[in-house]
Amino acid sequence: MTHIVKANGIEINVTIAGEGPPILLLHGFPHTWQVWSEVIPGLSRTRRVIAPDLRGLGGTTRAADGYDAGTLVEDALALLDALGIAAAEVAALDLGVLPAVLLALRHPERVTRLTVMEATLGGAGFTPPWWFGFHAVPGLAERVLLGQEGEYLDFFLRAGTYAGTGVDRAVRDAFVAAYTGEESLRCAFAHYRAMSVSTAQIASAAPRRLSVPVTAIGAQPVGDALHRQLRPMADRLTGHLIAECGHIVPLDRPRALLAHLGRPGH
């Protein structure tokens, strides 16, 4: 069931399902909470699933600012507080990984386990793909792409699936609707424009180390890069590569992802 929760000065659109130990799911670009739609039924058999739209995306407030990982952490904490949740398992994909890692670094008491997939933490040695630069130029991408949102998102959705076929039509159409219009695009690209701030926040928090159990899941194209980045900073780290899986892991190989998420506390 979808709810609107007022938290950290914005209205967060969040889907909640099931009962049991809570798990917070943080999506990436160009997604909404619906990127988790194939795994929510399985997770909700044993968990209380909390799947929000990130700040500025989907049904969540198109905020003027606050797209750095630190503010997204505050959004997540305020959402958990509003729902009366003291601590939760956290799973994150793509853009959701930076705030998920920062949340576990800054507030380990609020995270029971961390699962992160198909992203990197930036920093030295990271060569960003072309769209990072395109998205990062203030005001450019939203003006260029206005009216072409569907075609642009289709590129990422096809590339994000192993067979290149894209995602279910209904989910694809929901993503396109969520990212249509100049203001929606501005908010999407604001996450990229704040990325240098976010990576600096991770770097400054990293001396605290990741004390919670961490699982890094790779597919194509990121592979084991995130696992290698996390190795020096995580005390309890495991890594898995999902074979024949594209970037959008929860939609491309949901059964494999559910197997790696396992039971609560495992």
Joined together, the tokens standing for residue 209 give 């180390």
The per-residue pLDDT of the chain, averaged, comes to: 96
pLDDT at residue 197, as a whole number: 97
pLDDT at residue 134, as a whole number: 98
pLDDT at residue 122, as a whole number: 87
pLDDT at residue 262, as a whole number: 73
> What is the share, in percent, of the chain residues with pLDDT greater than 90?
94
Secondary structure in 3-state letters for the chain: CEEEEEECCEEEEEEEECCCCEEEEECCCCCCHHHHCCCHHHHCCCCEEEEECCCCCCCCCCCCCCCCHHHHHHHHHHHHHHCCCCCEEEEEEHHHHHHHHHHHHHCHHHEEEEEEECCCCCCCCCCCCHHHHHHHCCCHHHHHHCCCHHHHHHHHHHHCCCCCCCCCHHHHHHHHHHCCCHHHHHHHHHHHHCHHHHHHHHHHHHHHCEEEEEEEEECCCCCCHHHHHHCCCEEEEEEEECCCCCCCHHHHCHHHHHHHHCCCCC
pLDDT at residue 266, as a whole number: 52
pLDDT at residue 175, as a whole number: 98
Mean pLDDT over residues 86-115, rounded? 98
**pLDDT-derived band of residue 31, with 50, 70 and 90 as boundaries?**
very high
pLDDT per residue over 160-217, tens digit each? 999 999 999 999 999 999 999 999 999 999 999 999 999 999 999 988 999 999 999 9
265 has pLDDT over 90: no
Calculated CA dihedral for residues 81, 261, 265, 7, nearest 10 degrees: 0
71 has pLDDT over 70: yes
Alpha carbon distances (Å) from 29 to 98, 110, 170, 242: 13, 25, 17, 20
**pLDDT-derived band of residue 123, with 50, 70 and 90 as boundaries?**
confident
Burial 233-256 (b: 16+ CB within 10 A, else e): bbeebebbebeebbbbbbbbbbeb
Considering the entire predicted model, what is its pTM? 0.97
Alpha carbon distances (Å) from 156 to 59, 98, 153, 241: 21, 20, 5, 21
116 has pLDDT over 60: yes
pLDDT at residue 263, as a whole number: 65
